[in-house]
Amino acid sequence: MSNISVQRQVTRLVEGGGRLGALSEAPFKIKNSLAGHPLFEDNRLKRLLRTLPREQVEIRAVQLLGADDGCYRRGELLKGADPVDVFERLAEKPSWMLLHESWIHDPEYAELMRQYIRDLSETIAGVDDDISDLGCWLFLSSGKCVVHFHADPDQSFLNQIRGSKTVFVYPTKILPELTVERLVYTGNQGVVTYEPEYEAAMFPPVPLGPGETVFLPLFAPHRVINDGGISVSINLGFQTRESRRRRNVHLVNLEMRGLGLRPSPFNLRPAVDSVKQRMVLAIHAKNKFFRSLRPVVPL
């Protein structure tokens, strides 16, 4: 029996103090029991780093608190860096690491992800058997680093395991519709860029220590500042029936813009949104079989 199976019998990975309300447009905190979990010990993380294909380990240079330029841009991508070496030197050389597809290449992380979602579905309304596009992403980063401003193409729960940080979350509505459409279509966080005027709309900062979790709403921009020590965290992302509906409308709107049309924003005209839902399969088929007709989206 694996360590994870034993852990499943002993404790829940998510605790909300009773069943909480539905997913919202604003961040909120819950508790996790991932601090001290064997999958996040140094030797186990190094094993994962050796298992993952190198292209699934994103390593970037970062700015440090007090020496940043206030623009919260993504740091340089360090393609030639050795993942294990970078991890071992996080305390001395500022870096930010994002591990993609751990659940695909390592079955123990896949089981952890499934257990987390099972526990989450018993804690949060709206997380049920209808979720899709489930994934987990590990973040390993230096102390006092300033993590770039970005948004994710899904909604997620960011779980702090080691170290502490402050998460700054902004409402999705601050982003231009075209930016959200490009994010949904490409999945590239880089299409979302910081503007100083966003600060006025920011939610109250969310401090996270080991065992604390914050919900990041669908497409909500955010940035992070780590405290003094090395930070280890894991983000569990997914789509729900409602988020898929919204994603489909944004995809259709992007296609319509490519034809020179001016589509109505999501949720402005619900009846029109329903029609757009029925167009998605045809659009997917068009883009699969007629690649030359795909929208051109600058990255």
Tell me the Cα Rg of the chain: 20
Q: Look at the chain and report how many structural domains it folds into.
A: 2
Confidence band (pLDDT; 50, 70, 90) for 9?
Answer: very low
Same domain, 185 and 65: yes
Q: Which region among 71-80, 178-187, 256-265, 282-291 has the lowest average model confidence (pLDDT)?
A: 282-291
Confidence band (pLDDT; 50, 70, 90) for 262?
Answer: very high
* 127-170 pLDDT tens trace: 876 899 999 999 999 999 999 999 999 999 999 999 999 999 99
Q: Which region among 3-12, 57-66, 269-278, 284-293 has the lowest average model confidence (pLDDT)?
A: 3-12
Whole-number pLDDT of residue 17:
57
Whole-number pLDDT of residue 134:
95
User: Residue 287: pLDDT above 80?
Assistant: yes
Same domain, 103 and 193: yes
Same domain, 223 and 173: yes
Question: Tokens representing 7?
Answer: 């852990």
Confidence band (pLDDT; 50, 70, 90) for 286?
Answer: confident
Q: Which region among 108-112, 123-127, 172-176 has the lowest average model confidence (pLDDT)?
A: 123-127
Strand partners for 162: 232
**Burial label, 29 (beta-carbon count in 10 A; 0-12, 13-18, 19+):** middle
Predicted structure pTM score: 0.91
Confidence band (pLDDT; 50, 70, 90) for 299?
Answer: low
User: Residue 15: pLDDT above 90?
Assistant: no
DSSP E strands, the chain: 14-15, 20-22, 29-32, 57-61, 63-64, 95-99, 124-125, 132-141, 145-150, 155-162, 165-169, 206-208, 212-216, 222-226, 231-239
- Asked whether residue 298 is assigned to any structural domain, the reply reads no
* Domain finish residue from 224, 239, 254: 239
Whole-number pLDDT of residue 6:
37
Task: Find where tokens 């604003």 sit.
Answer: 26
Same domain, 217 and 72: yes
Q: Which domain holds residue 260?
A: 244-293
CA distance 159 to 212: 6
Same domain, 130 and 192: yes
* 85-102 pLDDT tens trace: 999 999 999 999 999 999
